[in-house]
Amino acid sequence: MNRSAQYQHPMSNRFRGYLPVVIDVETAGFNSQTDALLEIAAVTLTMDDDGNLLIDQSYEFNVDPFEGANLEKAALEFTGIDPYNPLRGAIPEQEALEKIFKPIRKAVKAHNCKRAILVGHNASFDHGFVSAAAERCDIKRNPFHPFSTFDTATMAGLAFGHTVLARACDLADIDFDGHQAHSALYDTMKTAELFCTIVNRWKDLGGWQMVQDNYE
């Protein structure tokens, strides 16, 4: 068998066959069953042959509130999102999820992984909204693990002693612009940088030894 046939992407050995994909959502409240999903962004990650995590591709969509969705005034004031502003270029929830899920499935396959695992800052919130939206839209092939996640709030608390995204980024020497915060894509990119930084530093400290048999 030739080398190309034997090759397994190094990412496939790092997280038990799961590809970490960073997700952030902006919503019209805290209840994933009743409150509107308004923005969703995803950042896929990859790994070089030295075992370092890197940002790969990013995707972002503004989302129309689903029919009958609740819109909490306080949540809209906090995010500054006007759900019905035509300049948002929002698309239906099902279309947004399909456009997010399709490249994630391709990335899972390209990295020889079996499924994606959601990375988020306070990940249960994002996971809950993505799962609820996928169920509402009757999407059968949700690429994400049904309950496991990587939570960068927890990871940052361990690594830097702070759980707030802006403060954790500051301690990790990652630039953070508070004026751009609460945009799904911006928060996703910063969460991705934070996740990669923590995982890579752990590797550099000897906390994980990469299996190299498949690509030495």
Q: Which residues form the catalytic set?
A: 182
Q: Distance between CA atoms of 77 and 28, rounded to whole angstroms?
A: 9
Lay out the sheet containing 115-120: strands in order across: 53-62, 37-47, 18-27, 115-120, 144-151
* SS3 state at 82: coil
Q: Distance between CA atoms of 38 and 92, rounded to whole angstroms?
A: 10
Beta carbons within 10 angstroms of residue 169's beta carbon: 23
Q: Distance between CA atoms of 18 and 39, rounded to whole angstroms?
A: 25
How is 129-170 classified by DSSP, letter by letter? HHHHHHHHTT-S---EEEEEEEEHHHHHHHHHS--SHHHHHH
Q: Distance between CA atoms of 113 and 117, rounded to whole angstroms?
A: 10
